[in-house]
Structure 1
Amino acid sequence: MTPFKFSKENITIAFYVIYSLVTYLLYEFFPGDAKTPNMGVVCLFMMIPISFIYAAVQVVRHFNTDKSYFKCLLIHTVAWFSIITFLTNLKK
């Protein structure tokens, strides 16, 4: 029996989908007020360093191994443009 093997691209996509879903659920189910931030907002702010560290690890792997992580880096770029576009349009 072979174990499930996921490609590095699928893991990168799953990271953003699952993290966004968890952030949304925390935002909806654990409300905050003006003085204490919502847990979803905290997770959204924590997404910045977590995803940059994840992308930096993949950049280092791209240059230090024989495997190409170009698609993963493209996924990071598209995910961040989507998040920035969504948050910009949400404010309007």
Structure 2
Amino acid sequence: MGIGDVAAQTEQVLKNIEATLAAAGARLEHVVKWTVYVVHGHSARAGFEVFMRYGGKRGKPPALTVVFVAALADPNFLVEIEAIAVVPEP
């Protein structure tokens, strides 16, 4: 998905995280820490714009770390995102 396209890959990763959170009874707004890995040589700007559309403009934004790396598990992967969420009690 989105080979060579940081924005498309970011969008797909965020959709996957959103689905995973939903399965646990949480939403993106429950994320308290993001770590975004971007392959060196690719701009994080396009991915950041997608990230902001997915809830980056919260009143109390979560911690965010962006790390540029030499490579990820698959040479076609340009972005990897980790999310830590505090899931509300039912």
TM-score, normalised to structure 1's length? 0.40
- The structure richer in strand per residue is 2
TM-score, normalised to structure 2's length? 0.40
